[in-house]
Structure 1
Amino acid sequence: MEILIAGGGVGGLALARGLAGSGHRVRVLEAAPALRTGGAAFTVFSNGAAALAGLGVPPGDFGGRLDRLRFDTADGATMVDADLADVARRTGFPVVSTPRARLIEHLAEGVDVVFSREVVDVEVRPDGVTAIDATGARHDADVVVGADGHRSAVRRAVLDPAPAAENEWTTWQGLTRVLPELAGGTTGVCVVGRAGLVGMLPSGDGLLQWWFDVDGPLSGPPAAALAARFTGYGPLVSALVEQIRDADLESFRHVTHRIPDRWGRGGATLLGDAAHAFPPTQAQGANQALEDAWVLSRILRAGPASPAEALRRYERLRAPRVRKVSRRAVSERTNKPMPAPVRLLLGLLPRAVVARAYAAQLRGVSSVLHGEV
């Protein structure tokens, strides 16, 4: 088949890698003039790591391994201490924080990417699909996959013209060489208080992925505004805000898509944020895009009776899993202080119980760990 993928981000490139050697002709149409390697880092949880391994890109080759993830209150009390090494043992796959640029570059190896080709419309016919790019050129295919983000033109054309809904939360993030005592280890720390959440994860090569989840807009230059807002969050956060600069920061509004049962029609479907954008508070955006790519690549490799049949099967498998993540993410509950009784209860749980629950939660949102294809 002729397969066109709109968008050369993580999901689109992962699908193309998963279809390598399948006998299909696969091309990625990317709006940018080169690979989009900006952005900070991704937390690749065990389900995403399993998908990457299945796509031929083992995550252990790059990034920083996370063996432990601690959630503290702003006043220094530990609420949850998750043994991620135990989660890795239970699932068979590690948890890794990897710079976005490194993951994009690895996924793009050997992939046919056509740059400066933004897909702006899609026409679905009984005998195929046509993607139309911003130059007016028409690209005929058997399958078109919209992996073009939460502002997806493919989604507007084949599913729903409504944009993703914004909420009041914004993530300010960066990836820099700060806090070497944390960046050089395998422990991630999240600190939660009334101002929001601060996350800090070692990402390999002395880099630290850090972010601030903030309710509402900042006033003034962002680095100074974040330092003022997160005063009293303990020594790690104090040291972090002293070292970051405005140039280190990128901001992303939290958005959510409605996730229907069907993500397209005929030979067109969606993948990743184009299908199911949700806030990053569950750290599953990239992981679910990788899961989409793994499932869809396996189904398309199988040589279905028709493209439409293959795509609807993919959508039926993925929609229930993604909805579970979305429901948790839209609550933004991980960004808010826990009630005292809940904190007390969590503090009494042994680390092995926490790891078992974490692994069960990941399996619950994963098609890959269930081997659903």
Structure 2
Amino acid sequence: MSKIELNSLTLEELKEFMYSIGEEKYRGEQLFNYIHSNKGCDISEITVFSKKMQDKLQDIGKINNLEIFKRFDSKLDNTKKYLFLLEDNNIIEGVVMEYEHGWTACISTQVGCKMGCVFCASTKNGLIRNLLPSEMVNQIYTMEKDLNIRINNIVLMGSGEPLDNYENVLKFLRIIHDEKGHNTSYRNITLSTCGIVPKIYELAEEKIPITLSISLHSPFDEIRRKMMPISNKYFIDDILEACRYYSNKTNRRITIEYTLIEGVNDRIKDILQLTNILSNLNCHINLIPLNPIKEFDKNRSSNSSIMQFKDELMKTNIPVTIRREMGKDIDGACGQLRRRYITKDTN
């Protein structure tokens, strides 16, 4: 029988777990506090428990950990990119970036991805498995311990589709937000999705005020289908209707991610259609210069085209920014570094 992943449990779940094994519920709170105040640990290190209690826990439970396999430091900015080694020897990656307002971590939610977006390196080897809540939390804690920092903002935008790992991601959100844990405000967390419509509605019902970020990348269904297979299942109108529902339920503005690709989605007609479909959505557009990968033969839009696209959108009073490129010299875009490693392209 597999052991219970104790650091994948929320505070309430740990209380119930301790009660189920004949202990007082407050022991669950002690365990939760110890794990998260120490940013992970081994059961044998939990000094608030007797040796007998430690042995009892070790018989039926475990605390999941991950290791830093490699760290890459950008020479252009203070971005750090990590390859993490999971206990089953799978590799995932995470990034931590320094901004004026503090440190932001971009973490993975799956080993690989099955969404098949043509310009994304994360999906090229398919989905291996979902990450556990503990494996998401551990990415945060491991980077914090390694750099001796406090991560202020969390972005679920690394490898994987968060809404395809819905239950584990929801648990992660509750764990990382808990005031007895990392105590991260929901408003400092962003979840990026390619647009799994039923899960957007489901997440809205939770009324967790995180920022929902939609990978749109084209205002036309026929173009989007060529780039993102999910568009064969969910049309843009369906996604935006779900976004309006989410925004109304959470009182949060939606972020629209838009990767600019030369001659594909950076034309005047794209601007006009984008303005049309977003006219009644409380949103902000984040323009992203394409990070080229060898499996995708399109080019990023020129700097002048990117600025023109932004300027034209601003005339419509839709808030728009251009994403600052971080860690470009260390394969900063999600999935690139892991893919280079697993395909033996690294030195």
- Fold similarity call, TM over 0.5: no
Q: What TM-score comes out, normalization by structure 1 length?
A: 0.26
- State the structure with bigger RCO (CA 8 A, min sep 6), 1 or 2: 1
**TM-score, normalised by the number of residues in structure 2:** 0.27
Structure number with the higher strand fraction is 1
